[in-house]
Amino acid sequence: MRTKTAAILAGLLVAPNAATAAPDPARLFTEHCAACHGGDRLGAIGPALLPQNLGRLKPGEAVNVILSGRVATQMPAFGDKLTEEDAKALAGWIFAPPERMPDWGVAEIDASRVIHGARLPAAPVHDSRPLNLFCVVETGDHHVTVLDGDRMEPIARFQSRFALHGGIKYSPDGRFAYMASRDGWVSVYDLWGLEMVVETRAGINTRNIAVSKDGKLIAVGNAVPAGVVILNARDLSPVQIIPTDSRVSAVYTAPPRHSFVVALKDTPEVWELPYDTLPLAVRRVPLEAHLDDFFFDQGYRMLMGASRDGRGQVVDLDAGRKVADLALQGMPHLGSGITFDWQGRRLMASPNLKEARITVIDTATWEVVRQIDTLGPGFFLRGHAASPYVWADVFMGPNKDAIHVIDKRGLEIVKTLRPAPGRTAAHVEFTDDGRFALVSVMENDGALIIYDAQTLEEVKRLPMRRPVGKYNVANKIRYEEGTSH
């Protein structure tokens, strides 16, 4: 019988068998990934590789990306350096939480700030009408196109942070565009000088941003670290961190209330943060059920929300309590809801992420006025006060290439467009006057298609790299009823 020491020596003398030795993902990460994704996995020129930031990527896809690279990004293929086993071990490792989540407080936010030295001219350097500009987010290659909405010509295109998400917001005068990435980067772009002004990383995993009515503050809703970060909108310096005991789902501005309103993922509460006085105080509104995402009436007093399990409720923010239940099924996407007038009544309409229908509700009685059957579950709805139609995508289902045009008067689909047959059609936005509607063909070699919003005929097609959302400056700053706010 061999002694223990002899066995250890034998083990040392046997050459390690590369085919059977288990890969060491931490070592592989440091060797191959850390330079771009950060030694702490917080991201650098590549995105953060923490479980919360990988939410939409499946482990199998991660293995493919590691071995084959990612088209139209700087992610190279590692198939010649790593085995499939290595890639699987790495994928498993990045989907597991780190031993200790890195801190992200005032010091880290401040230290991450990048001031770009923009010229900030006294007048626009272009002759486009500033209020009819659009910012179009192209996630295919992480760029933003600035589009002249009168000529329908791009006037600038710039690299954005990795994976922008949520609506781009604007300063009240429409000059500055504020954008947020899923990795927590907030960027300020000058639409007069066509230059990036300042950027800061306000969180590790960010949901979205909101701008105060006076344009002085930006609220950043974070899932990691859970909380709301208030930034100075001019230079993005941190003003206040408001920790939440739940991941933030979204933060919205409520201009007439002079407050930010926060939806929470894990706590059945809504938080209101009045912003006229610093530091911001927190008003907690307890609820019976979670409100994961919501939508306001045009007066910003009533909040119509749904939890992930589809329970809908109406909350009166003045009274600080639920005042009605909403008869909703599936998973209504209330964050993409819109309102419009119908027969002297104010209606709201919401797409549904799980069911092939759009629900139309009377905001006086909270009764369902109509269920409009669609060709599939949809993500976004858009209207404009000057247009008789509401446009709805249905890309969450098999008919991903269809866009319904719904007549607001009859509450029925009057036309179904297929902008690019077989290819994903998503997200519509109108010009400031409501005359044209812009639709995304949300594919890597996609396009932005401009329709005459009255005749529903195609007017122009601009090639783009997976265009997703597009945001008209005037519609956003005027809180147009058919546009997300």
Q: Is 140 in the site for ligand DHE (CB under 6 A)?
A: no
E strands present in 244-311: 248-254, 259-264, 269-274, 283-286, 293-296, 302-306
Of 469, 475, 477, 482, the one binding ligand DHE by CB under 6 A:
469
d(CA 153, CA 90): 43
Establish if 434 lies at the interface with ligand DHE (CB under 6 A).
no
335 is an interface residue for ligand DHE by CB under 6 A: yes
Regarding 47 and contact with ligand DHE (CB under 6 A), the answer is: no
Question: Residue 351 Cβ, how far from ligand DHE at the closest point, in Å?
Answer: 11
Size of the site for ligand DHE (CB under 6 A): 17
The answer to whether residue 108 forms part of the interface with ligand DHE (CB under 6 A) is no
Helix (H, G, I), strand (E, B) or coil at 156: strand
CA distances 232 to 11, 113, 422, Å, are 61, 12, 44
Separation of first and last alpha carbons in the chain: 77
Could you say which residues in the range 56-95 bind ligand DHE, by CB under 6 A? 56
Among positions 88, 207, 257, 290, the unique one binding ligand DHE when judged by CB under 6 A: 207
- Distance from CA of residue 353 to its chain's centroid? 15
199 to each of 41, 45, 159, 196, 434, how far by Cα in Å?
20, 14, 13, 8, 32
Tell me how far apart the alpha carbons of residues 146 and 150 are, in angstroms, rounded to a whole number.
12
Q: At what angle do helices 59-68 and 84-94 cross, to 10 degrees?
A: 130
CB of 300 vs ligand DHE, minimal distance in Å: 15
**Which span (103-111, 142-150, 160-168, 402-410) binds ligand DHE, by CB under 6 A?**
160-168
Based on the shown chain and the rule CB under 6 A, indicate whether residue 468 belongs to the binding site for ligand DHE.
yes
Phi-psi region of 343 (alpha: psi -120 to 50; beta: other; left: phi over 0): left
Q: Which member of 86, 293, 443, 480 binds ligand DHE (CB under 6 A)?
A: 293
Closest Cα partner for 381 from 332, 450, 308?
332
CA triplet 150, 154, 155: central angle to 5 degrees? Answer: 95
Residue 87 or 273: the one with the smaller Cβ distance to ligand DHE is 273
CA dihedral 479→483→484→485, nearest 10 degrees, is -10
Write out the binding residues for ligand DHE, residues 239-258 only, by CB under 6 A. 250
User: HSE of 454 in the Cβ direction (CA atoms, 13 Å)?
Assistant: 4
Find the shortest distance in angstroms from Cβ 167 to ligand DHE.
Answer: 3
Q: How far is the CB of 483 from ligand DHE (least distance, A)?
A: 7
- Per-residue x/- mask for ligand DHE, residues 356 to 395, rule CB under 6 A? -----------------------xx---------------
Question: Does 126 contact ligand DHE by CB under 6 A?
Answer: no
Residue 208 or 339 having the CB closest to ligand DHE:
208
Decide: is 139 part of the binding site for ligand DHE (CB under 6 A): yes
Helix (H) or strand (E) holding 60: helix 59-68
Residue 302 lies near ligand DHE (rule: CB under 6 A)? no
Write out the residues near ligand DHE by the rule CB under 6 A: 55-56, 139, 165-167, 207-208, 250, 293, 335, 379-380, 427, 468-469, 484
